[in-house]
C-alpha cells in the first residue's frame, strides 16, 4: 500500500547561513503559533506533519463562488446577496488579483528585517464606496443550524488568517478596510433525499481585523528559525499526546 507521507524533505528548509530570502506562508505562521516545536521540525529540519486528505468538495464550492463573483466583477456590479444584506461592497477589480488568489504564489511581502518573504493567497477581494479594499474568505462546511458567528476557540485561526491577508495587502500599499468578511456555505443535510444535489445555506460574517501582532510574531519566528535547538512541544497537542502514548507502551 502506498503512503501519502513522504518523510524528511531536503527542500524549503531554512538555513541560517543562507542570504537568500526564505518564503513563509501564512499557514506556517499559524503552525508556529500552535506549536514552535512542530514549526521548527518542519521548516528547519524538513519533517512536516503527515498531510491531511484533500478537501475536494470544499475546493469545488470555492471555485464556484469565485466564478459567481467573477461574473459580477466583470460588470462592476453588486452581488444580489450583498444588496440583500445591505453590505457596502462590490467585487473589486485589480490587475494582480489572479496572482493574489493563486496557491503557492499569493500576496507576497519581503520583511527585510528578517529576510523572510511572507505569503498568503486570498479567496476574494471586494471594495467599498470609500475605495477601501475588503478581504473575503470563503468557507464551506455542513453543520446543524445557521452559522452566524465565529465564536468557537478554533475560529481564532480564521481570524488570524484574515488579519495576515489584510496586513499583506497593506504592505503592498493598498488601502484596506479593517472589516473583512467570511462568506459561509453550509451544506443542508436534512433534505428528504440527495437527488445528486447539495444545497447550501449562505451566511456572511463580518470581522474587524487587528494586524498589530504580526510584526512581533514574525520577529519571534525569525528567532525560532535561528535557534540551534528544538523548542518545547505544546502541552495540549493531540499529535504529541498520541506519540507520548505510543512511547509509553513501547519503551
- Identify which of residues 97 and 237 has a Cβ nearer to ligand SF4 in the complex: 237
Selected from 60, 210, 239, 246, the binder of ligand SF4 by CB under 6 A is 239
* Residues contacting 212, CB < 8 A, separation 6+: none
Whole-Å CA distances, 143 to 22, 24, 192: 39, 32, 17
Selected from 30, 33, 37, 150, the binder of ligand SF4 by CB under 6 A is 37
The span from the CA of 166 to the CA of 135, in Å, is 7
CB of 28 to ligand SF4, least distance (A): 12
Strands 133-141, 179-187: parallel, antiparallel or unpaired by DSSP?
A: parallel
Question: Is 237 an interacting residue with respect to ligand SF4 (CB under 6 A)?
Answer: yes
- Can you read off the three cell numbers belonging to residue 22? 526564505
Residues 122-161 close enough to bind ligand SF4 by CB under 6 A = none
- Residue 78 CA, distance from chain mean position: 25
The span from the CA of 3 to the CA of 173, in Å, is 44
- Identify which of residues 34 and 132 has a Cβ nearer to ligand SF4 in the complex: 34
Residue 48 main-chain phi, psi, to 5 deg? -95, 165
Region binding ligand SF4 by CB under 6 A among candidate stretches 68-76, 135-143, 205-213, 230-238: 230-238
Edge-to-edge order in the sheet of strand 116-120: 22-25, 116-120, 107-111
Selected from 38, 116, 164, 225, the binder of ligand SF4 by CB under 6 A is 38
Question: Is 27 an interacting residue with respect to ligand SF4 (CB under 6 A)?
Answer: no
Question: Is 234 an interacting residue with respect to ligand SF4 (CB under 6 A)?
Answer: yes
Q: Are 204 and 181 in contact (CB under 8 A)?
A: yes
Region binding ligand SF4 by CB under 6 A among candidate stretches 31-39, 82-90, 124-132, 168-176: 31-39
Question: Is 30 an interacting residue with respect to ligand SF4 (CB under 6 A)?
Answer: no
Residue 209 main-chain phi, psi, to 5 deg? -85, 150
Question: Is 218 an interacting residue with respect to ligand SF4 (CB under 6 A)?
Answer: no
- Identify which of residues 56 and 236 has a Cβ nearer to ligand SF4 in the complex: 236
User: How many chain residues bind ligand SF4 (CB under 6 A)?
Assistant: 9
Question: Is 33 an interacting residue with respect to ligand SF4 (CB under 6 A)?
Answer: no
- Identify which of residues 33 and 117 has a Cβ nearer to ligand SF4 in the complex: 33
Q: Are 210 and 165 in contact (CB under 8 A)?
A: no
The residues binding ligand SF4 (CB under 6 A) are 34-35, 37-38, 233-234, 237, 239-240
Amino acid at each position: 500500500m502506498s503512503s501519502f507521507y513522504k518523510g524528511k524533505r531536503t527542500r524549503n528548509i531554512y538555513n541560517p547561513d543562507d542570504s537568500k530570502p526564505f518564503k513563509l506562508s501564512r499557514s506556517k505562521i499559524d503552525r508556529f503559533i500552535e506549536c514552535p516545536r512542530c514549526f521548527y521540525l518542519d521548516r528547519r529540519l524538513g519533517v512536516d506533519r503527515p498531510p491531511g486528505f484533500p478537501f475536494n468538495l470544499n475546493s469545488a464550492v470555492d471555485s464556484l463562488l469565485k466564478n459567481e463573483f467573477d461574473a459580477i466583477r466583470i460588470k462592476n456590479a453588486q452581488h444580489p446577496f450583498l444588496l440583500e444584506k445591505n453590505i457596502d461592497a462590490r467585487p473589486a477589480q485589480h490587475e494582480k488579483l489572479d496572482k493574489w488568489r493563486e496557491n503557492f504564489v499569493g500576496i507576497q511581502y519581503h520583511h527585510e528585517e528578517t529576510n523572510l518573504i511572507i505569503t498568503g493567497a486570498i479567496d476574494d477581494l471586494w471594495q467599498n464606496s470609500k475605495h477601501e479594499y475588503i478581504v473575503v474568505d470563503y468557507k464551506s462546511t455542513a453543520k446543524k443550524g445557521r452559522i452566524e458567528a465565529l465564536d468557537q476557540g478554533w475560529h481564532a485561526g480564521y481570524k488570524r488568517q484574515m488579519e495576515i491577508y489584510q496586513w499583506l495587502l497593506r504592505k503592498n500599499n493598498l488601502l484596506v478596510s479593517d472589516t473583512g468578511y467570511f462568506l459561509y456555505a453550509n451544506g443542508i443535510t436534512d433534505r428528504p433525499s440527495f437527488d445528486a444535489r447539495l444545497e447550501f445555506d449562505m451566511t456572511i460574517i463580518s470581522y474587524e481585523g487587528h494586524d498589530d501582532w504580526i510584526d512581533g510574531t514574525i520577529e519571534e519566528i525569525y528567532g525560532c528559525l535561528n535557534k540551534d535547538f528544538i523548542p518545547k512541544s505544546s502541552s495540549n497537542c493531540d499529535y504529541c499526546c498520541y506519540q507520548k502514548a505510543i512511547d509509553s507502551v513501547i519503551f
